Copies of this chain bind each other. A is one copy, B any other.
Amino acid sequence: MSEVYANRRNRLRDRCSASGSATALISRPVNVRYLAGAAPRGAVLLLGREEDLLLSPGPPDPQPGADRLDEALRVQTLPGRTGGPNATGGDAADLAADQGVDSLAVEEHHLTVSRHRALRSVAPRLRLDDVGGIVEQLRLVKDEEEISLLRVGAEIADQALGELLESILVGRTERHLALELERRLVDHGADGPAFTTSVATGPHSGRRGHRPTDRRVEEGDFLTVCLGAAYHGYRCEIGRTFVIGTSPADWQIELYDLVFAAQRAGREALAPGVACRDVDRVARQVIDSGGHGDALPQMTGHGVGLEIEEDPQLAPTAMGKLDACVPVTVEPGVHLPGRGGVRIDDTLVVRPEADGGPELLTITTKELLAL
C-alpha cells in the first residue's frame, strides 16, 4: 500500500515542479490523507524535493477503518505543542527554510489568512505560492483499489436499506429510521455513515439533504431515504423513494416515472469524454418536459470519493468532461412544496463502453415499491 501513496506524492511533485514550486505544504486533511494514507488531527504534509515529512502535533491516531500511515513517510511528531493545527504550519515553513528551499506552494483554498500570515512571519524569505486544487484534481480519477472500497461501501448501504424495507415503517419517525439505518451501516462494517442520513416522509419527501424530523411515517406517504456508507474513508450514496400503503396515487406514479426516466437518462449518458453539463442536461430535459423544471435543484449529480461531494459536478454550469474511473452520483429529484416528491440516487463509475459502460455500484431496485 505504501507505494500507492509514494506514487501519489510523486505525481504531485511533478505537477508542482511544472508550475515552478519545488516544495508544497498540504494542509487540507482529506488531501493529507490521500497522500499519506492517514491524517492525524492537525497534521500537515510537507512535500520536499526528495523527502516528504508528515508533521503532526501529536502521536498518530488513525481513525477506525483508515489505512495505516504510509510507512515510507517520515513522521515528525511535535511534542508538547498545544497550538494544534497552527503550530505545524509554522514548523513546516521553518523546516522548508532550513532546507534552503526558496518557495513553498500552499493550499490557499484551505489555509486561513491567519495561518498564512504565521508562515510568512516564521520564514519571511520563503515565497508562498498557491498550489490551487491540484490534489483535488489528482483525486478525481480513482484507481481500482479506491473503486473497490466504494463498491464495498455501496454493498453495505444496499444491505442496510434492504433490511429497513423489511421492517414495519408506519408510525416510526424520520429520526428513528435514520438512526436505525446508521446503526445497520456500522453493523455491516462501515466506518460510519458517509453523511447525515436523510429520511423524508410525506411533504418532506423528495427534498435534497432533508434533515430527519419527528414526523412519523403515514399511510399514503412518499418516503425518500438517502444514505451512504463510509468504508476505509471512501463515501458512496444511494437514494430511493417508496410509497407507503397498498397502492400509490396517480400523481405519485406519474411523478415517480418522470424522475425515474430522468435518472435513467443521466445514468445512460455517463461515458468517458462526455461533458459533465451534458449529463446534467439530459436528466434535466426529462424533468422539464414533465413540467417540473422549476423544482429541480442546481445539480443532478456529483463526484464521490474521500468526500461525499467532490468534483466533478453534474450541473448546467459545470466545466470539463468525464473520464473513465470517475465515480459520480446521478440523483435528480422533484419536490412539490406541501405535497412531497421523489428522488432517485445512484453511485456509478464511469467506464468505457468496451468495458460494459457505467458500472452501477448501488443495486437496490428502482421499481416503485409500495411498503
Of A1-9, A110-118, A149-157, A325-333, the one touching chain B = A110-118
**Contact, CB under 8 Å: B211 / A64:** yes
Of A48-56, A90-98, A175-183, A361-369, the one touching chain B = A175-183
A108: Cβ under 8 A from any B Cβ: yes
A110–B176 CA distance with the chains assembled, in angstroms:
35
Partner of A108, one of B61, B114, B186, B212: B114
A238: Cβ under 8 A from any B Cβ: no
**Contact, CB under 8 Å: A117 / B108:** yes
Contact with B along A93-128 (1 / 0, CB 8 A): 000000000000010111111101100000000000
A76: Cβ under 8 A from any B Cβ: no
A117–B116 CA distance with the chains assembled, in angstroms:
12
A106–B182 CA distance with the chains assembled, in angstroms:
38
Per the CB 8 Å criterion, the residue count for chain A at the interface is 31
Most buried by B among A175, A209, A299: A175
A246: Cβ under 8 A from any B Cβ: no
Residues facing B in A309-366 (CB within 8 A) are 313, 315, 317
- What is the minimal beta-carbon distance from A89 to any residue of chain B, in angstroms? 12
A298: Cβ under 8 A from any B Cβ: yes
**Contact, CB under 8 Å: A298 / B82:** yes
**Contact, CB under 8 Å: A112 / B114:** no
A114 proximity list for chain B (CB < 8 A): 108-109, 130
Partner of A186, one of B111, B175, B211, B315: B175
**Closest partner residue, chain B, to A207 (CB atom):** B61
**Closest partner residue, chain B, to A318 (CB atom):** B82
Evaluate whether A179 and B175 lie within 8 angstroms (CB atoms) in the complex, with A112-B109, A112-B111, A114-B109 already known.
no
A110–B63 CA distance with the chains assembled, in angstroms:
25
- What is the minimal beta-carbon distance from A2 to any residue of chain B, in angstroms? 23
**Contact, CB under 8 Å: B315 / A82:** yes
A130–B112 CA distance with the chains assembled, in angstroms:
12
A111 proximity list for chain B (CB < 8 A): 112-113
A183–B130 CA distance with the chains assembled, in angstroms:
44
- What is the minimal beta-carbon distance from A351 to any residue of chain B, in angstroms? 27
**Contact, CB under 8 Å: B63 / A211:** yes
**Closest partner residue, chain B, to A86 (CB atom):** B109
A162–B39 CA distance with the chains assembled, in angstroms:
35
A317 proximity list for chain B (CB < 8 A): 82
Contact with B along A63-83 (1 / 0, CB 8 A): 110000000000000001010
A64 proximity list for chain B (CB < 8 A): 175, 211-213
A186 proximity list for chain B (CB < 8 A): 175-176, 179
Known: A61-B209, A61-B211, A82-B313. 19 other contacts (CB 8 A): A63-B211, A64-B211, A64-B212, A82-B299, A82-B315, A82-B317, A106-B113, A108-B112, A108-B113, A108-B114, A108-B117, A109-B113, A111-B113, A112-B112, A113-B116, A113-B130, A176-B186, A179-B186, A183-B183
A-B contact pairs, 7 of them (CB 8 A): A63-B211, A64-B211, A108-B113, A111-B113, A176-B186, A179-B183, A179-B186
